[in-house]
Structure 1
Amino acid sequence: MLATLTADYFSDPDWIFEPKLDGIRCLAFKRTTGVEMFTRNKLALLRQGYGGHPRFLGLRQDKSPPEVVREP
């Protein structure tokens, strides 16, 4: 979900909010030809050097089906 600027604010005692943490959210596309990773703005992360991050190193050896989209 993308953040939206608004003049109103949300307040409800039954809701708990997640703190915002710095980082990059990406989608990993595992295909028979290899792994591709993109930001929500469709920027290729592997071309920007993020593919070597320990969190992503196991994607190529992942035993999930060959055509999978996942959030690492």
Structure 2
Amino acid sequence: MTDLLRNVLMGLGCLSLLWISSCAIMGATTVAVVGSAANKVGEKYDKEELKWHNEADNKAAAYHEHSDYQADYYENYED
């Protein structure tokens, strides 16, 4: 009778270890998938942010005031 009880308890112990290890494997897989997705989203956001900054810089560089044109004229075309 004690052998039967011992075997049942060992079986339950092995099942609990199997259950814990399967949860750990699923958790590790979930972490890996979420990390990979976060990296892809981060890279895409970095590219978009760089594009926004470049567009803002291009707009700022394209804007000239009248005094800029006068300075360019007098600097390059004075007699």
Q: Same fold (TM over 0.5)?
A: no
- Hey, which of these two has a bigger chunk of strand by percent? 1
TM-score by length of 1: 0.14
Question: What TM-score do you get using the length of structure 2 for normalisation?
Answer: 0.13
Select the structure of larger CA radius of gyration: 2
